[in-house]
Amino acid sequence: MKKVLIILSALAAVACAAPKENTLTKAEMADGWELLFDGQTLNGWRSFNAPTLLGDSWVVEDGAIFTTGKGDDAHGYIVTEKVFENFDLKWDWKLSKGGNSGMIYHVQEGPAFSVPYVTGPEYQIIDDENYAEMNGGYVLEPWQRCAVDYAMYVPDFDTAPYIKPAGEWNTSEIIFDNGHVTYLINGKVTVEFDAWTPDWFARKDSGKWNNAPEYGVSRRGVMCFQDHGYPAWFRNIKVKELPSKSVEEELFNGKDLTGWINYGTELWYVDEEGNLVCESGPDKGYGYFATEKYYNNFDLSLEFKQEANGNSGVFIRSTVDGTKVSGWQVEVAPKGNDTGGIYESYGRGWLIQIPDEKENILKEGEWNTLRVLCEGDRVQTWLNGEPMVDITDDKIGAGNGRIALQIHDGGGIKVRWRNLKVKTL
């Protein structure tokens, strides 16, 4: 009897020590972890591209977020209300037989994006073992299998022994640390890679995402679960935000146009002295020359020399569609036209212009130095070392996008650029 009581007491102690679902331990809370699901409600979640949770596809069932499988490729996504940049994300999941889902992160929203995966990388969640049986014999490609970086990076080993079968709980993890990315399944690393490297862009531009220009280039965004037409369950969803690291980059190498995208038909080229030149082409239209990557908080410095009509500009946190730009322009223009001021394209127009007495700081026909400090809601500019404007604006703070150089329409414009350097904050 004594031995029985000891065994029962030990079992009771183990039961009491078992972690409760959808909770954090004291150690996790002290380490900065937060829950994204409280186990009872969908507070903190909403439908993609919507201010609230729409429809009845997503519910809470037995302490898990449950998607009923009413969604499809075009519909059925829920996203976090909160935006994340660098993070360690963990969650448990299980699928119905032959099921398909995913966790998509750094997702951008807006009318230009009909689905999350054209902007956000996806940790694939799928029932490798039974998918073909339940889906007309379709055999998954390696880049479609579970725990891969969908259509980008695949494991170099068979993940099957590490994935539990349909109907059983698995634990997944994504660590996004300033561009270094690690995926895990049940404690096993499946893929590890660095975003925004030449290899990353080569994969992006040669495969499924070659017609998705905004795929994966954002440094921040919402997190998203996918309803791909199959029942799926998620619980113990927790995240720890990681600090951003300051990195200094040369945006222009002085040799070629690597790292940039040309929008429009105007001319961008490198001259014999290693300067970047923008020049009006035969169409005499607007043109934009944008970084491949997004930059949110940064300290940018560059030099420019205006030749002929020097009407140009530096766009921050901006997106470009054709030659339509959405974002904010730090003006670069002939004297008397507010070089260093900030203009909002397709919106409020001038947000802040420079004082008239500062117009003479611009050196026409000579090299000028422009500095732009963009951090949160605040933007500051300097021209040739002199402060020009200082503005705090919540719309700029919510912006997300590329750094871009502009050539104005009208023809007859030529500007040279050099020493383009950025320090991320």
Question: pLDDT tens for residues 328-357?
Answer: 999 999 999 999 999 999 889 999 999 999
Q: What angle do CA 409, 395, 50 make, to 5 degrees?
A: 105
pLDDT 10s digits, 59-82? 999 999 999 998 888 889 999 999
pLDDT 10s digits, 183-214? 999 999 999 999 999 999 999 999 999 999 99
Checking if the pLDDT of 95 tops 90, the result is yes
Q: How confident is the model at residue 2 (pLDDT cuts 50, 70, 90)?
A: low
Checking if the pLDDT of 175 tops 90, the result is yes
Checking if the pLDDT of 5 tops 60, the result is no
CATH 2.60.120.560 domain position(s) in the chain: 24-241, 248-424
Structure tokens at 57: 């596809």
Q: How confident is the model at residue 18 (pLDDT cuts 50, 70, 90)?
A: low
pLDDT at 4: 46
- What CATH number belongs to 24-241? 2.60.120.560
What lies within 8 Å, CB to CB, of 203 at 6+ separation is 152, 153
Q: How confident is the model at residue 182 (pLDDT cuts 50, 70, 90)?
A: very high
pLDDT 10s digits, 124-154? 999 999 999 999 999 999 999 999 999 999 9
Task: Determine phi and psi for 94, rounding to 5 degrees.
Answer: -145, 155
Checking if the pLDDT of 17 tops 70, the result is no
Architecture of the domain delimited by 248-424: Sandwich (2.60)
Task: Determine phi and psi for 325, rounding to 5 degrees.
Answer: -110, 140
Mean pLDDT of 277-283: 94
The whole-model pTM stands at 0.91
Average pLDDT score, the chain: 94
